[in-house]
Structure 1
């Protein structure tokens, strides 16, 4: 078993801890790290017999057994990850970054994990990115994507202090990853914190302006990709049939695509239900991040990705 440390004892870190304990056949939680001695995440880890520290990254480095830890998951914030990565850099650990810091390459397991098998610090983009970039990438496999816009709607209750503090980073990081990983010429990202009660589960809309291709091929590529993501995020699914409509020749799109003339408008509607390991099922935005991080950590440390 490969030992892993989790920095961040909040919602995301706690959910990831339980996922590793319940689902992973290759990873073992070797340390839970926080900065609040009274946090529920640290208390739960103690009850489970996991070594803990409230001393942050320096407390982790000082823990007995630190040398045995091979992978560190960072579930703090973009600002904190920059500090944590710098402190851990001399120790040669694999870092899986669940913040929007984007120091290392963007990774979406179903799309491009194989390209970054040797990276020492990989970035999991954002919850919206993990949900929507696979769809953009699936369309890019079939035809040119001139423009891709995503809207991630999550329950306000599932957006903790870390999420709210990183809203700007969310939109910037997700938009960039839509281009770098998804293959779109231009990407745009919007996040909506929905205050509805009872809380809604995560919903995502992906709108792409594309080149010419057989609509059946576009739909088939999207459906195959959705099944791949559902392999590690069981609550991930298409909400309804993919909608493909022709672009009107007179439709004003220059502000989005310049002089290009897209042929199709492709609209994909997604739903992500959480597994409720630590948080309610409506928190699919957190579940897809921890599920993707778990898959990434397992494959990178097991040497499966070639």
Structure 2
């Protein structure tokens, strides 16, 4: 039998529960070792118990006291930015690697298709945000062809798919995403906006990416974007271009460069969830758990091969 890395998930809410289902259905080098929550009555803990996964409702302290903890090789944190600060401190001291699905950003930002291999050995990696996972690959695709002076993303998600963790971390979302647009996407300056859409029935996740770059061959930019979309689709099948890439040559004033004539690129995306546990419209949560699973598989494959 192929050796697998046992994982624990801290956070038994929507994201944690969906991630558990993904690990159990699609984990190649991963298997569930524990599900951790703080509410004994949570649906996530109940589902984990029904599926035969060891659980605790006593948070991180409960995980550390579980006999199963000695076999845990990787921990996902699907709680909040503030909680992750505490979790990371304890687990780092114990040498347990973590994948952070909160906007805490203690470790390096990771978007699997852009820089996943570069941080496979990091002890704490940050999955940025749902908006970041959806849009940074596009910024990076443009950056592969032309220098990007400015990139702005607008992530519109169904209000129903925004749980208490998302709502409590709006400021961290915008700050973390903007920074990752620069660090991972390659833009000189990044900006992020999130919109919680109250439409009923709920709408699919939609993301708009604007970049302003040096003038470049539009065909090459479009080909780079389409190739990147295909790479993301390998682990997020519901990720797609909503319509053709739009271009416009324009002259604008930038604080650091003065007036520059460049290429404005507009990309419209849709993310449809896989509906493993969450509804299809929760593409924002699905792309986060899918990216986290892809990142964990990269880490675990190295561990198994060692």
The alignment's TM-score, normalised by the length of structure 2, stands at: 0.96
**1:173 corresponds to:** 176
Contact 1:101/1:123, CA 8 A, preserved across alignment? yes
Give the equivalent residue in structure 2 for 1:71: 74
SS state of the match for residue 152, structure 2? strand
SS at match of 2:67: coil
Offset, 1:117: 2.0
Aligned partner (choices 202, 214, 219) of residue 211 of structure 1: 214
8 Å contact from structure 1 (residues 146, 262) kept in 2: no
- What SS does the aligned partner of 1:303 have? helix
Contact 1:156/1:195 (<8 A) preserved: yes
Give me the TM-score of the superposition, normalised by structure 1. 0.96
Q: CA deviation at 1:25?
A: 1.8
The CA distance in 1 between the partners of 2:93 and 2:261, in whole Å, is 48
Q: Deviations over 1:115-164 (max 9, x none)?
A: 11220000000000000000000000000000000000000000000000
Asked if 1 retains the 8 angstrom alpha-carbon contact of 2:117 and 2:298, the reply is no
Q: Is residue 2:148 matched to residue 1:145? A: yes
- Count of residues in correspondence between the two structures: 301
> How far is the alpha carbon of 1:254 from its aligned partner?
2.9
Structure 2 CA distance for aligned equivalents of residues 210 and 202 of structure 1: 26
5+ long unaligned stretches in structure 1: none
Residue 286 (1) aligns with residue 302 (2):
no
1:194 partnered with 2:197: yes
Is 1:228–2:231 an aligned residue pair?
A: yes
The alpha-carbon distance between structure 1 residues 301 and 150, as it changes in their structure 2 partners (threshold 3 A), is same
Q: How far apart are 1:57 and its partner, in Å?
A: 0.6
Distance 2:169 2:111 in 1: 19
* C-alpha distance in structure 2 between counterparts of 1:91 and 1:276, whole Å: 35
Q: State how far apart, in whole Å, the 1-side matches of 2:125 and 2:261 are.
A: 33
Measured against aligned partners, the alpha-carbon deviations of 1:5-27 in whole angstroms (never above 9, x if no partner) come to 00000000000000111111211
Shift in Å at residue 260 of structure 1?
5.5
What does 1:104-123 correspond to in 2, within 5 Å? 104-123=107-126
How far, CA to CA, are the matches of 1:83 and 1:193 in structure 2? 28
Q: Deviations over 1:57-85 (max 9, x none)?
A: 11111111211110100000000000101
Q: State the match for 1:269 in structure 2.
A: 268
